[in-house]
Amino acid sequence: MTTDVTDLAAVRVQRIREIATARRDLRGPLIPILHAVQEDLGHIDQADVPVIAEVLNLSAAEVHGVVTFYRDFRRAPGGRATMRICQAEACQAVGAEALGAHARRRLGVEFGETTSDGAVTLDEVFCLGNCALGPAVQVDGRLHGRVSPARLDALLGEVAR
Amino acid sequence: MRGMEAGGVSAGKRRVYVPRDSAARSVGADAVAERIAAAGAEVVRTGSRGMLWLEPLVEVETPAGRVGYGPVAPEDVDGLVAAGLLDGQGESIGVVEDLPWMRRQQRVTFTRVGIVDPRSPEDYEAHGGLAGLRTALRMSPADVVEEVVTSGLRGRGGAGFPTGIKWRTVLGADADIKFVCCNADEGDSGTFADRMLIEGDPFTLIEGMTIAAHAVGASEGYVYLRSEYPDAVETLTEAIEAARARGWLGERILGSDLTFDLHVRVGAGAYICGEETSMLESLEGKRGQVRAKPPIPALEGLFGRPTVVNNVLSLASVPAILADGAEAYAALGVGRSRGTSVFQLGGNIARGGIVETAFGITLGELVDDLGGGTASGRPARAVQVGGPLGAYLPVEKFDLPMDYEAFAAAGAMLGHGGIVVFDDTVDMAAMARFAFSFCAEESCGKCTPCRVGAVRGVETIDRIRTGQEREKNLVLLEDLCELMTDGSLCAMGGLTPMPVRSAVRHFGEDFAK
């Protein structure tokens, strides 16, 4: 089955083109397109960049510049779950740094990395808007408040299943 | 009103309110709502009252008003119901509106938050929604602008620029198309009022933006909402669709000649996009790098067209100003800080949440009287007001009134009204270092004082903290702060020195260890 890789790449290019074309007439379409690509395909591959650029009539450098500027955009696949721990001032005031250290130790990864089994991507985030109920943690878009190390372990237990 | 309809169908069922605000959900509100529904009540999901230490706060409708219970854990529900919760009996905190925390406030912008179902346009209208827009549509655009000028409303995003003056500039500009942009990139730590307003009463923001569109002659609007707030994105997107379906957006709004449509754009994790020109670049699909001013966005904003750029709370205050009159709004407040502000208490605080009140309340009244001091029970030592770029103040400054000018005179800023409390375990040299490292991480890279200065700042503080030529490096630090303040293109580099300098000034002992 030597054609699989090429086929997959062609399927992806086709999908990227569809996503970009469907949004091309929005004002300022690039960021909505990048969000949609990541939502649909998990990350924005380097090979996606010229495809999007062509649809929008931009240079690949312009698209690359945007992809790399914003923290949200992943350039490699993430874990099956993403846990983000707030490290901003309000959460620091109630122990967010210690919680972050606990999570890194427990998972054996740094912020921005994925566990070797592909289960969890761990990251830091600066403010989730839960500043009165910190430390705050977001797991796959779901907000959690007053997260103790024990509660964090329980959250990890849920996503690891 | 999905709540009322259901109530009509199943008469006799008790109506119980449980917040769906993401902060309430973060401590279990969804599970509580499910259990209460299972106990046979009709559950209405609202925004949060802003008493976040009481979340999940459950409210039961009784003839005396809404009786509150909180914080309620899911496992508490069956016991509370057995003790008479559905009849407002048992161990309650009393009628919510009568609690000292609520009585102390003057809710104008947040008047409906925590009360209405944010997904229900009928509920919105039943609670006074659209009154401001209907008034505005009977007035000429210039008269609406002057009404906002007269109210004294100033931008709630941080800079405090008079909103009406900005609108006047956009109204006077001639162009093929004009835009209204709402900056909902609420990235400052310690601020969450934009999120709570959007999750708890999104139609108020839509109405405020529509009034702005009428006032300046804009036909398109964008809400730039940060990706860290997925619940707010969902709530606002649904509300815009509901508003369109009812003719509150689109062509001939409420039967008038006004055509205006509104769109949500989701940010992508860049703090700098809370700066208005970066936000415009991002809306155009570019890297969020700041623009030099002039030209000001009011004349050359989104895609080079005249653009109103206002914060969520500024725009959400407009409907009440039009509905009740500019004089009523201007009657609140002190000096040149008119109306109310939505203060946010966060960090190490016993009773954290939202306090909307007229300007002039003191910092100490907010932190001690309303906030109840620290959550840890240790003495408070420092508060940071106005986000990561705001000053750190010691408890000796707790008599400062919340007022733009009083804060500026004290070397601080009100910013977006966020107050973050730290107890006496805080290391202020570490917080100063964090201010620089945050700036280094989030700088857009356009100007050198910010891009390079932030990195040099981290290094200099590290040398001070490890005792390398401490005196010399403190002088260098001050020199760097001066250069960043004077030489940076925007507030990111220009204000990062504020937390640093205030930490050195008020907590110098932490830099001498």
B135-189 pLDDT, tens digit per residue, is 999 999 999 999 999 999 999 887 889 999 999 999 999 999 999 999 999 999 9
Please report the pLDDT score of residue B2 as a whole number: 40
Question: What ipTM was assigned to the predicted interfaces of this complex?
Answer: 0.96
User: What percent of chain B clears pLDDT 70, i.e. is strictly above it?
Assistant: 98
Instruction: Give contacts of A 40-79 with B, CB under 8 A.
Output: 62, 65-66, 69-73
d(CA B51, CA B139) in angstroms, rounded, equals: 38
Q: Give the predicted TM-score (pTM) of the model.
A: 0.96
What would the pLDDT profile of B418-453 be if each residue is shown by its tens digit?
A: 999 999 999 999 999 999 999 999 999 999 999 999
Closest-CA distance of chain A to residue B113, Å: 16
Sheet of B220-225, strand order: B261-266, B220-225, B179-184, B307-311
Asked whether residue B294 carries a pLDDT value surpassing 90, the answer given is: yes
B265 contact residues in A (CB cutoff 8 A): 28, 31-32
Which residues, at least 6 apart from B455, have a Cβ–Cβ distance to it below 8 Å? B436, B440
pLDDT, average across residues B88-117: 96
Using CB atoms, pick whichever of B266, B345, B442 lies closest to residue A35.
B266
Asked whether residue A106 carries a pLDDT value surpassing 90, the answer given is: yes
Q: Which residue has the higher pLDDT, B474 or A2?
A: B474
- CB count within 10 Å of CB B407 equals 24
* 8 Å CB contact between B137 and B254: yes
What would the pLDDT profile of B353-363 be if each residue is shown by its tens digit?
A: 999 999 999 99
Helix and strand totals (H; E) in chain A = 7, 5
d(CA B428, CA B392) in angstroms, rounded, equals: 9
Task: Give chain A's end-to-end CA distance (angstroms, integer).
Answer: 32
d(CA B79, CA B90) in angstroms, rounded, equals: 10
* 8 Å CB contact between B152 and B336: yes
pLDDT, average across residues B314-340: 95
Please report the pLDDT score of residue B6 as a whole number: 39
Please report the pLDDT score of residue B513 as a whole number: 73
Please report the pLDDT score of residue A2 as a whole number: 54
Which residues, at least 6 apart from A94, have a Cβ–Cβ distance to it below 8 Å? A134, A135, B347, B348, B375, B376
**Longest distance between any two alpha carbons in chain A, whole Å:** 56
Asked whether residue B10 carries a pLDDT value surpassing 80, the answer given is: no
Please report the pLDDT score of residue B391 as a whole number: 97
pLDDT, average across residues A7-11: 90
DSSP structure string for B156-225 = TTTT--BHHHHHHHHHH---S--EEEEEE---STT--HHHHHHHH-HHHHHHHHHHHHHHHT--EEEEEE
What would the pLDDT profile of B200-247 be if each residue is shown by its tens digit?
A: 999 999 999 999 999 999 999 999 999 999 999 999 999 999 999 999
Mean pLDDT of chain B: 95
Please state, in angstroms and as integers, the Cα–Cα distance from residue B262 to each residue in B112, B238, B249, B268, following that order.
22, 12, 7, 20
Asked whether residue A75 carries a pLDDT value surpassing 60, the answer given is: yes
pLDDT, average across residues B277-282: 98
pLDDT, average across residues A131-157: 97
B230 contact residues in A (CB cutoff 8 A): 141
User: What percent of chain A clears pLDDT 70, i.e. is strictly above it?
Assistant: 98
Q: Which residue has the higher pLDDT, B4 or B493?
A: B493
Closest CA to B386 of B417, B411, B364, B344: B417
Closest CA to B343 of A131, A78, A146: A131
Task: Give chain B's end-to-end CA distance (angstroms, integer).
Answer: 61
DSSP lists the bridge partners of residue B418 as: B344
d(CA B179, CA B190) in angstroms, rounded, equals: 29
DSSP lists the bridge partners of residue B340 as: B358
A88 contact residues in B (CB cutoff 8 A): 189-190, 388, 438
DSSP structure string for B134-151 = HHHHTS-HHHHHHHHHHH
* 8 Å CB contact between B205 and B186: no
Please report the pLDDT score of residue A6 as a whole number: 80
Is B420–A31 a contact, with Cβ atoms under 8 angstroms apart? no
Residue B212 sits at φ, ψ, to 5 deg, of -60, -40
B7: confidence class by pLDDT, cuts 50, 70, 90: very low
A64 contact residues in B (CB cutoff 8 A): none
Please report the pLDDT score of residue A7 as a whole number: 87
Tokens of B459: 């290094």
pLDDT, average across residues B399-403: 96
